[in-house]
Copies of this chain bind each other. A is one copy, B any other.
């Protein structure tokens, strides 16, 4: 037992306190806001100040910072710290996954302040996830493992049918449930969650049954076409059972505050069961 609350309990408390499951994706696109680390910082901090009160977390997408080199890494730290200062959880959207010895290095890079959780790619299997899990569990942090992503190409490999008749992504889901079994908090939520896209809502009920304790992180609402009203099965009556991420539909809205508040209301309405 660690002295600090586990990630699942931290999320459950945050959803309750903030009455929101909305995750603000931070993808500072130079084609929209102009280039350079200073612009990325100013843009992200402004959106956090406007939309943050309707959200429970931010999700900086590391690619948009990495493209700026060393200055981008500093910008990532600064923007994430600003979000944490505003009471938001910070999910580093890294989608990393590498062999165990390298995984330890990535865990050192990403399982640390100001990040509360990190997204992982499971293709390399359990020994690639293990160093992240060790680091996260020791510090009350969380992981979100890609299970079924929101993009059209998800069909190419994630939906291939195995010899038992199930799609490959269901095998990922079973592994995720196993990896997370040792980290279920008092509120019934594990510190190992699952990324499940909103664009194929027909999978939500099945994946919820395979992963009863997993927090779902659901991208694909808004610009990618996913609709909040289809997400009820992801919650299964637990308001803290899923977090819903939106990026472009809030970041580049005429009024980010209203866009975030509308999504908050729509998700809250379907989350109560």
Q: Which residues of A are interface residues toward B (Cβ below 8 A)?
A: 27, 29, 61, 63-64, 66-67, 69-74, 77, 95-103, 105-106, 108-110, 121-129, 146, 149-158, 160-163, 165, 168, 171-172, 175, 219, 224, 248
Contacts and interface: CB of A to CB of B under 8 A. Distances in A.
Given A161-B163, A162-B163, A64 B105 contact: yes
A109 B162 contact: no
A156 B125 contact: yes
Given A99-B219, A157-B168, A168-B168, 8 more contacts: A63-B105, A63-B109, A70-B71, A122-B156, A124-B149, A125-B156, A125-B158, A157-B172
Contacts of A96: 63, 95
14 contacts: A63-B98, A63-B106, A67-B106, A69-B74, A70-B70, A70-B74, A99-B150, A99-B219, A100-B151, A121-B121, A125-B152, A125-B154, A128-B151, A128-B153
A67 to B, nearest CB: 4
A72 to B, nearest CB: 8
A194 to B, nearest CB: 14
A65 to B, nearest CB: 9
Contacts of A121: 95, 97, 121, 123
Nearest to A122: B157
A29 B171 CA distance: 33
Contacts of A161: 162-163
B168 A67 contact: no
A27 B103 CA distance: 12
B102 A63 contact: yes
